Structure 1
């Protein structure tokens, strides 16, 4: 069977599983089904031979197992697969998150930018309208205040006029489309830098949020939220491990004719619950590391911000006129630093949303094994942390 044929067979299997689940009242995404198919095929206990083509019986067996598992809504195993699907679909690297965010912003800005670069303004009214559009574009791209706020617009207009008076529109109109876009980008950075500097000097800053202060509160709060969830997840995992070990020890001591006490927990379900906890833990560690990285970035940005503002103060202090070659690059750098703060705000928001969205995928095992039930099985049982366990077996 060719690769294309194999892919076609798999797609048909996935589609059939999804349709059968839907017919039984359970809507499932094809992505979730694909994850389930992979998990079932790779599970040795299901006895699928991955080195040969699936027979018709294999396909029917695979479909039945997958449908049964997908319909078992109280299954920690299904929750784990859903957890993996969600994380796979929603989490990516810092660079990718930010690249996607910028792509979305750019796509939203394109109509405004296009109106400016394609403009053929001639009359005074048309040129004034074009200039207002440039102010709006600068505001939208900078993210410093709303373009519908009169105070913000006035401030941005004054800043733009100081570096690009309306009389220069004729020169701007003669540029190529690409050069117009490039100049708009540069003007945005300079105007942003001017407004930020004016805010620092107490002469403006209308509509500009104090991002460093916001981040200095949000980062520790998010870190605490992630750590709290992580510690709770670990605590539960330690309990599951202790009970599972106790049950396994009992099974090993028992004779073939004996069985576990009737009030014993289900060992397979307990293992599924433990796996869910450990997967949740792994994802929480990833999020926590990203939040810590945010904290480090914010610290660096604050240092750069203070240094740049100090240099700008020294450059413009007690001077009626400063060469643009000296001050414009500093305004641009100031805008870049602020853009870094905006990036961290975006990342923190994304990570917080992912954190909240992970929680529902651990509910089934909490319902199966509530604390009061676990406590009954933890009497006279030593609960070891991972570190204690490693120390006990001599790895530390």
Structure 2
């Protein structure tokens, strides 16, 4: 529905006209649940007409104007708790972001101050004052007030004089921007550690709170409050459960169907209240464990530092500075946990507004509750008979017909019962998708299994009109489609094994009629459009507990502005490193490749060849060398030939016989553009 914002505004205005203040988030949730719950009147696949929109607005206003309605108060509690949780987380995140931004601004001012040289006294003085101002701020980046500020300045001045004297500015200005930031963070941490050590010694620490004591006290205070409230709400839920079960089974005359339905709504409200208390108690317990661990480390470091310093006048800085730094970091971590505890305290105070937001119709002095406590417990057979009667009523048949049907099923198993619409019997499912019963002996992590529907019996929810009864893991845990279910009795377990699809669909149908069950049973995946996280803008992310169970909603994800710089025209560099433009280079490479392919090295060590050298194991052809010139010229000397004449031919013509010395002149040749070898 694209007009959701206009519809929400109309709903808020309509409630305001009746002097009832409604938040836009609550109005949106109510409109969404009506839209999805009444699928007959409002087909989701079709566009809504103006009459449909007006009808949704009227139904939402009528729903929100209900007086003393436990189901409406449950919805208000769900919206209020998630909104408060997100608001508290966002407040803490914004405070930290502001403090970090102030620190970055001061870092930029310090880094941008660049003296001309080591003799620029004015710039160095300004730089030192900016560093000193950075060290005298609170964790939030603000200034201290009055006398506290002057005490802090004196302590910081004494600490800076020993850690970072003015002479160190000359080397500081030579560092890079990133190195300056790192050194400033280390300097602030060491100075804070010195002040914390002086505070522990009783010699200073102005403006620094004992966060380790405050956090420990806050953990104990919140734990006691939530624990006491948990015990009280558990007793109330037990009373409602006992009265409702007794009324369904014994049918007392003074109890009407309207009273039972009212008790169911009140029980759902108390179950939701109990669930949120348990979520807060788990958060506080986790914070308490972290605080205890950090506090022990913090006190241990202080003791080690005290024994190291002792009464000595001077201690090597390489020994004490790391400890000062660690003490400051531990103190900051404890302060962060204290902020989380304070935010949980705010959420607990907001939740307390729903403790008595409706008029309870059942109290410990009720006559029905007294009868329920005095009544004997049902036997297994009576409990099974009552369960069959409940199924018969839910299916629209009488108890006698249900009993007859059960007997007929036992006599003739070959006859198949009619399968209700939307139901798939277990014997028609594939073997790998059929439900399986897990026991303690067969499952090592039996007690850590994440139970579906928060551990409530889906059979009871379907057949008892949304009644929330906790299952009994001792009967066995049923695994179906990678989810785990528990049941209140054997009849419920066996019914689910016979037809799991029926009861999973039954829970969804019941939640459509009672929207407060959507978040109570954690069915946000089944109704994504009604998820409070989505209605808050789609930015809040569900908070996941260990084991995959959502407990609420964390703050929206932090967003930052980012940019990338790209060139206007990309330069393509298609360079082939193996390309050779010179033909002689190609010839040289071919000869080298051919030479390498012919070279083979083989060796075999034998007794005869041991310690002998073989020169012909490798043969390398002589390297061909040549010179490229534009014009090649050469000179030739006379060729001297010496021989003995008169040894052959006609001896009559030869006058003398003897050695002949002959000199021949050879003319040189000139080649242009060729190589001469």
What's the counterpart of residue 369 of structure 2? 378
Larger displacement relative to structure 2 (80-89 or 193-202): 193-202
Cα offset, 1:339, TM superposition:
1.1
Q: Deviations over 1:188-210 (max 9, x none)?
A: 11111112223333433333332
TM-score of the two chains, using structure 2 as the length reference: 0.49
Give the alignment of 1:30-49 within 5 angstroms.
Answer: 30-43=24-37, 48-49=42-43
Larger displacement relative to structure 2 (96-105 or 161-170): 96-105
What's the counterpart of residue 3 of structure 1? none
What is the alpha-carbon distance in structure 1 between the residues aligned to residue 34 and residue 260 of structure 2?
20
What's the counterpart of residue 230 of structure 1? 230
What is the alpha-carbon distance in structure 1 between the residues aligned to residue 147 and residue 172 of structure 2?
25
Whether the 8 Å CA contact 2:136–2:152 is kept in 1: the answer is no
Cα offset, 1:15, TM superposition:
2.5
SS of equivalent residue, structure 1 residue 21: helix
Q: Deviations over 1:278-323 (max 9, x none)?
A: 1111111111011111221122112212332344345445655444
Whether the 8 Å CA contact 1:119–1:130 is kept in 2: the answer is no
What is the alpha-carbon distance in structure 1 between the residues aligned to residue 362 and residue 152 of structure 2?
54
Structure 2 residue runs of 5 or longer lacking an equivalent are 116-121, 378-467, 476-487, 491-677
What's the counterpart of residue 157 of structure 2? 157
Cα offset, 1:46, TM superposition:
7.8
The structure-2 alpha-carbon separation of the partners of 1:208 and 1:386, relative to structure 1 and needing over 3 Å to count, comes to farther
What's the counterpart of residue 245 of structure 1? 245
Whether the 8 Å CA contact 1:48–1:58 is kept in 2: the answer is yes
Cα offset, 1:47, TM superposition:
6.0
Match among 58, 76, 87 for residue 64 of structure 1: 58
State yes or no: 1:330 paired with 2:314: no
State yes or no: 1:23 paired with 2:17: yes
What's the counterpart of residue 291 of structure 2? 298
State yes or no: 1:74 paired with 2:65: no
Name which structure has the greater RCO, CA cutoff 8 Å, separation 6+: 1
The structure-2 alpha-carbon separation of the partners of 1:136 and 1:198, relative to structure 1 and needing over 3 Å to count, comes to closer
What's the counterpart of residue 192 of structure 2? 192
What is the alpha-carbon distance in structure 2 between the residues aligned to residue 293 and residue 73 of structure 1?
39
What's the counterpart of residue 532 of structure 2? none
What's the counterpart of residue 658 of structure 2? none
The structure-2 alpha-carbon separation of the partners of 1:314 and 1:261, relative to structure 1 and needing over 3 Å to count, comes to closer
Cα offset, 1:148, TM superposition:
5.5
Whether the 8 Å CA contact 1:40–1:46 is kept in 2: the answer is no
Match among 342, 361, 364 for residue 369 of structure 1: 361
Aligned residues: 379
Q: Deviations over 1:71-111 (max 9, x none)?
A: 22522222222221122223269998865552243245566
Q: Deviations over 1:352-392 (max 9, x none)?
A: 11111101123233x243737x6244221239998897779
What's the counterpart of residue 77 of structure 2? 83
The structure-2 alpha-carbon separation of the partners of 1:140 and 1:98, relative to structure 1 and needing over 3 Å to count, comes to closer
Cα offset, 1:329, TM superposition:
2.3
The structure-2 alpha-carbon separation of the partners of 1:148 and 1:53, relative to structure 1 and needing over 3 Å to count, comes to farther
Choose 1 or 2 for highest CA Rg.
2
Give the alignment of 1:97-246 within 5 angstroms.
Answer: 99-107=93-101, 109=103, 116-117=110-111, 122=122, 126=126, 129-137=129-137, 139-140=138-139, 149=148, 150-169=150-169, 172=172, 179-246=179-246
What is the alpha-carbon distance in structure 2 between the residues aligned to residue 334 and residue 202 of structure 1?
16
Larger displacement relative to structure 2 (285-294 or 225-234): 225-234
Whether the 8 Å CA contact 2:294–2:334 is kept in 1: the answer is yes
What is the alpha-carbon distance in structure 2 between the residues aligned to residue 358 and residue 192 of structure 1?
38
Instruction: Give RMSD over aligned pairs.
Output: 3.9
The structure-2 alpha-carbon separation of the partners of 1:323 and 1:338, relative to structure 1 and needing over 3 Å to count, comes to same
The structure-2 alpha-carbon separation of the partners of 1:233 and 1:116, relative to structure 1 and needing over 3 Å to count, comes to farther
State yes or no: 1:268 paired with 2:268: no
The structure-2 alpha-carbon separation of the partners of 1:318 and 1:262, relative to structure 1 and needing over 3 Å to count, comes to closer
Larger displacement relative to structure 2 (218-227 or 21-30): 21-30
The structure-2 alpha-carbon separation of the partners of 1:173 and 1:83, relative to structure 1 and needing over 3 Å to count, comes to farther
The structure-2 alpha-carbon separation of the partners of 1:60 and 1:126, relative to structure 1 and needing over 3 Å to count, comes to same
Whether the 8 Å CA contact 1:219–1:348 is kept in 2: the answer is yes
SS of equivalent residue, structure 1 residue 361: coil
Cα offset, 1:226, TM superposition:
0.8
Cα offset, 1:68, TM superposition:
1.0
What is the alpha-carbon distance in structure 1 between the residues aligned to residue 280 and residue 271 of structure 2?
14
What is the alpha-carbon distance in structure 2 between the residues aligned to residue 357 and residue 70 of structure 1?
20
The structure-2 alpha-carbon separation of the partners of 1:361 and 1:198, relative to structure 1 and needing over 3 Å to count, comes to same
What is the alpha-carbon distance in structure 1 between the residues aligned to residue 147 and residue 167 of structure 2?
24
Larger displacement relative to structure 2 (176-185 or 192-201): 176-185
TM-score of the two chains, using structure 1 as the length reference: 0.79
Whether the 8 Å CA contact 2:8–2:24 is kept in 1: the answer is yes
SS of equivalent residue, structure 1 residue 74: coil
